[in-house]
Amino acid sequence: MKKERVKLTGAEKSELFAEGVVTVILLLLLNLSIIILIHLAVLQDQNLVNGIYFLKSTVTLVGNYHLWSWQRIFIICMAIGDLIVLYWRLIRRYHQMQLRHVISELHYIADGHFDHRISFAVRTDLQRVIDSINSLVDSTVNSINEEKAIEQSKDELITNVSHDIRTPLTSIIGYLGLLKTGYVTPEDQQKYINIAYTKAEQMKSLANDLLEYTTLKSNNTKLNLSDLHIYSMLEQVEAGFELEAEKKGIHFKIEARPKDLTIKADAEKLVRVYNNLINNAFKYGTGATEIKLVANLINKKTVELRVENNGAPIPEKSLKKIFERFYRVETSRNTKTGGTGLGLSITKGVVDLHHGTIRCTSDKDWTSFIIRLPLDPSQA
Ligand code: ADP
């Protein structure tokens, strides 16, 4: 921010000028009275006159020239004293004016102009007060904006959830309505029941995801850390998908380096992360033939966990957004895969709780979700 000096108004300049004039007059009167008093004192006291004369003669040079004269010295001293008093009075008044300007700026900000900052540069301690006021306003504005963002994201959440609930609910009501009429062939009856059931399942998974997401986001979620042997965990996770993998002709590959790699993590939540990522690979990796689950110790404190699948890639422009809640790649919205757009937000939430990071890369060969976790989150 560009700082400028306090600009005095015309009235203030006149006020300062008047103050100067009054001070000069008062000082002149004071000087005059001092001179008169001294003069009277000298006239009345012969000893003082003798003393002065003696001092004068001791410093008299050749040709009767005085090196210094009492009167001259006295007048110079008084003039210097006057200047100091004048300067002090004017500068004091000037500082008062600066303070007045700062106060009026404060009132302006307090009136709701929160984008305004006090831009004066002053040379006194007032500058520290100005800087503190500016940073106070900054932090207040930040808190207000954060509050607004939270409010807005809550509104978005409600809108998205209402929309995602309404869509399947409308079909459920529609199909149940048809069934209620009784004029449906047994064949259609079965079809409608199946559709209504699938839609109800979709709503259930939305409710579950939402509950999990909000629980993760609430600050009081604690991790239940225990020693976790990564390779064994990956084998167990893979076992859960064996049937589906066989059906789709997908082959799993598991690697852990070192093989006995063990980390401290919340096993239940980490398994949920793997389930999310593998489910996504099945759902969206169209044409995939292989899913790789790889774990590597990359340094003394960090482990890298990868879930990779071949098949259809994620478009470049979506890569940055896929961890946002409710975000779904355009092509996935139209497919019958279901999904709420919350899976990857939940995954990221779990990784964040472990003080880790997650990112995604995708090209025509591989889509990789790369997670980095500290070996011991309680010390991260
Ligand atoms: P959901 O699966 O409920 O739609 P996610 O948050 O899990 O939500 O995923 C967000 C989007 O990211 C998905 O809709 C999908 O488009 C895309 N996506 C996630 N994983 C993959 C993957 N392995 N391959 C291709 N696209 C993916």
Question: Does residue 94 have a pLDDT over 80?
Answer: yes
CA distances (Å), origin 315, targets 322, 363, 371: 10, 8, 20
40 lies in the same domain as 65: yes
**Ligand 1 nearest-atom number relative to CA 339:** 3
**Which ligand 1 atom is nearest residue 313's CA?**
25
Any domain includes 5: no
> Does 317 reside within a domain?
yes
Whole-number percent of the chain with pLDDT over 70: 93
Of 178, 197, 217, which residue sits at a domain end? Answer: 217
Ligand 1 mutation pick, 212, 307, 322, max ligand atoms within 8 A of CB: 322
Neighbours of 17 (CB within 10 A): 11
* Edge-to-edge order in the sheet of strand 251-257: 251-257, 290-297, 302-309, 367-374, 357-362
CA 235 / ligand 1 centre spacing (Å): 23
How far is the centre of ligand 1, averaged over its atoms, from the C-alpha of 81 (Å)? 83
**Percent of the chain at pLDDT above 90?**
64
Residue 46 resides in a domain:
yes
Domain holding 208, by residue range, is: 149-217
| 188 and 232 together in one domain | no
Q: Residue 67's pLDDT is what?
A: 56
Distance 117 CA to ligand 1 centre (A): 45
Average pLDDT, the chain: 89
Q: Are residues 119 and 159 located together in one domain of the fold?
A: no
Both 97 and 155 in one domain: the answer is no
Question: Whose alpha carbon is nearest atom 19 of ligand 1?
Answer: 280
Least confident of 36-50, 87-101, 216-230: 36-50
231 and 208, same structural domain? no
pLDDT digits (tens, 9 = 90+) for 140-197: 999 999 999 888 888 888 888 888 889 889 999 999 999 999 888 989 999 999 999 9
Cβ atoms 372, 304 nearer than 8 A? yes
Residues 100 and 156 in one domain: no
Examine the domain organization and report whether 267 and 187 are in the same domain: no
- pLDDT at 358 (0 to 100): 97
Which has the minimum average pLDDT: 31-40, 65-74, 136-145, 159-168? 65-74
Which of 272, 290, 330, 332 to probe ligand 1 with, by most ligand atoms within 8 A of CB?
332
Pocket of ligand 1 (CB under 6 A): 276, 280-281, 284-285, 309, 314, 322, 327-329, 332, 339-345, 367
CATH number at residue 195: 1.10.287.130
- For ligand 1, the distance from its centroid to the CA atom of residue 284, given in whole angstroms, is 6
CATH number of the domain at 351, please: 3.30.565.10
- When pLDDT is cut at 50, 70 and 90, the band that residue 122 belongs to is confident
Look at residue 65 and tell me whether its pLDDT is greater than 70. Answer: no
- Whether 293 contacts 234, CB under 8 Å: yes
How sure is the predictor about 336, in pLDDT bands with cuts at 50, 70 and 90?
Answer: low
Tell me which residue has its CA closest to atom 14 in ligand 1: 328
Is the same domain home to 16 and 33?
A: yes
Pocket probe mutation, ligand 1, options 208, 284, 307, max atoms within 8 Å of Cβ: 284
Alpha-carbon gap, residue 267 to 30, rounded angstroms: 89
Q: Which of 272, 328, 346 to mutate to test the pocket of ligand 1 (most atoms within 8 A of CB)?
A: 328
Q: Does one domain contain both 265 and 302?
A: yes
What is the C-alpha to C-alpha distance for residues 47 and 45, in angstroms, rounded to an integer?
5
Report residue 231 as tokens: 């390779």
**Statement to judge: residues 349 and 234 lie in one domain:** yes
User: How many angstroms is it from 330 CA to the middle of ligand 1?
Assistant: 10
Distance between CA atoms of residues 157 and 128, nearest Å: 43
Report CA(258)–ligand 1 centroid distance (Å): 30
Taken in order 277, 282, 284, 286, the sign of the CA dihedral is positive
Domain annotation covers residue 312 = yes
Instruction: Let me know if residue 130 belongs to a domain.
Output: no
Kindly state whether residue 306 falls inside one of the protein's structural domains. Answer: yes
Residue 181 and residue 238 share a domain: no
284 sits in which H/E element: helix 267-284
CA angle 264, 355, 349 (to 5 degrees): 105
In angstroms, what CA-CA distances link 270 with 22, 48, 274? 81, 101, 6
The count of C-alpha atoms lying within 13 angstroms of the C-alpha of 177, restricted to the half-sphere facing its C-beta, is: 6
pTM above 0.75, yes or no: no
- Last residue of one domain, picked from the residues 217, 236, 253: 217
Name residues whose C-beta falls within 8 Å of residue 356's C-beta, 6 or more positions apart in sequence: 371, 372, 373, 374, 377
Highest mean pLDDT among 47-56, 219-228, 324-333: 219-228
Residue 342 alpha carbon, nearest atom of ligand 1: 6
Domains of the chain: total: 3
User: Does 137 fall in a domain?
Assistant: no
Residue 299 has pLDDT above 70, yes or no: yes
Identify which of 241, 275, 280 to mutate to test ligand 1's pocket (most ligand atoms within 8 A of the CB): 280
DSSP summary character for residue 286: T
| pLDDT value for 150 | 83
Question: What pLDDT does residue 219 have?
Answer: 76
The verdict on residue 173 lying in a domain is: yes
Report whether pLDDT(99) > 80.
yes
Domain termination site, one of 124, 157, 182: 124
Average pLDDT for 55-73: 65
Q: What is the pLDDT of residues 242-277, one digit of tens each?
A: 999 999 999 999 999 999 999 999 999 999 999 999
pLDDT in tens, 315-331: 999 998 999 888 888 76
Q: Say if strands 290-297 and 357-362 run parallel, antiparallel, or are unpaired.
A: unpaired
157 and 61 inside one domain: no
> What is the pLDDT averaged over residues 335-363?
88
